[in-house]
Structure 1
Amino acid sequence: MKQLYGVIGDPISHSMSPAMHNSAFSDLGIDAYYHPFHVSPEHLKDAVKGLKALNIQGFNVTVPHKTSIIPLLDEIDPLASAIGAVNTVVKKDGKLIGYNTDGLGFVSALLHEMGNLIHPECNILIVGAGGAARAIFYTLLSKGWTRVDICNRTVQRAEVLIGECPIVGKSKPLTLQEAQSTLNDYDLIIQTTSIGMSPRTSEIPIDLENLKPNSVVCDIIYNPLKTELLKNASIKGAKTQNGIGMFIYQGALAFELWTGIKPDTEKMKKVVLQQLGGTTC
């Protein structure tokens, strides 16, 4: 009998996770199936009980359930607890255990794609203060980076994010205007908002006029594959990275948590690019 895995969210029809994970199961000869479950917020509690009753071995959690699922699980990994969000659930010894692989996925992709351009002394700026920013911010600090500043249209949200982090760094909350005027202080800029995502592809979350030519600019958006922000960064001589890597590596880390096996991330990437209708990043 096939092992059951899946993803819950609302909406969920757009998810590329089923194609990515089912391809990995097939490549590795694992008798398993990954299914998308459309779960509305009012049915989340019943859905979690149902998935447990169905003996699901693991599942991903996407918007809007990453926070609200926490009290419905048996255990929470310390990093996921600190972040306050779960995107991966593993069934172990009859218990549902929550993890967050979003931040780790981003960092893994960053180090894989940028190599020695990224080092512990990097000055980092995160644009945005939402859930993705929180996961990336906490993970960067947990991995040893200390100078990680956050800018946001509402600077109070950046202040709260920094203040709530249990890991002490040298972080500053900034307005967008402050960040734009001091952009040449940063070696790495990470864009975590939805600004520039399809269909509003002409929008840019931060002005890059003062960008350092040899810096790295990341955008966690992957539709389009190259946002207006990344296009502008390339013109100014920066190295760029889109959100495909983060999506692939967070999925690969979830897959490994479920099965104990590291999947082929290059094959996963090809599947996702095929789903997006593109061939390059």
Structure 2
Amino acid sequence: MRGHAGGAGAIVPGARLRVAFLGPENSFTHEAAESLFGDAELVPADTITRVFRMVEGLEVDYGVVPVENSLEGPVGETLDNLARSMLHIAYAVEMKITLVVAGDPSAGRVYGHPHALGEAGHVLEEVAPGAERVATASTSAAAAEAARSGGLCVCSRRAAEAHGLPVVRVLEPGVGNMNYTRFIAVGWRDNPRGAERTSLVAAMPDTPGALYHWLEPFARRGVNLKMIYSRPSPSKPWNYIFYVDLEGSRLDERVAAAVEEAARRSLFLRVLGSYPVRRL
């Protein structure tokens, strides 16, 4: 499958590349992959872990997966794969997520990813009161099921159009409810020159003040942290590893010095990559 965005709009010349993305087709991750890689050959995968394995196995050049949503927070499966893989974050794209309710309101059921069904709850009560809610693995899968079985779905406008479903309502985000998702492209190299963000994964000693002690080199040098998030350690119950996003490139002197000092205060630390961020 070739991307539809065209090489001119992409930030990576893609005509000779193969890029895996979390599918199915017409998903938001599909759109993110097109925005980054334009005319690359885009290959859908059914899980985030499968995307990582395809890149590691040299089946594709890059893999595109969601990493964080502004309403739901980080994507655990992506973070876990970043920690155990030797791949790097090469690019990122932040995309505004606009959902629609599409299909036949009279069928008595509505399909959608659980998060999408929750976000659309008040609208669904207006357009299809009492309709059965049926959870699907993704918004694009919801559109496919509504087209096949009849009913409504909560999906992207693109997915609705691809399956010939009429749009019943566009979900307009309210104040404080803006829905954005950040996607990353993983590969064997990052892109540190001119990068605006660097991601790390690290573990600290289980001692009082360890996290405060670890963060101090960044504060002292004025390096701004954009995200810090903990996940359970896969090797030791009730211990945690930390994912950190910071402003700047690993080639910046202040960033490099802070990371080097933090590494000396860590049980382990790995730079996941420095990379540009595209905003749509």
* Rg larger for: 2
TM-score, normalised relative to structure 1? 0.27
**What's the TM-score once normalised by structure 2's chain length?**
0.27
| Structure that is richer in helix per residue | 1
Q: Which has more strand, going by share of residues? A: 2
Greater RCO, CA 8 A, separation 6+: 2
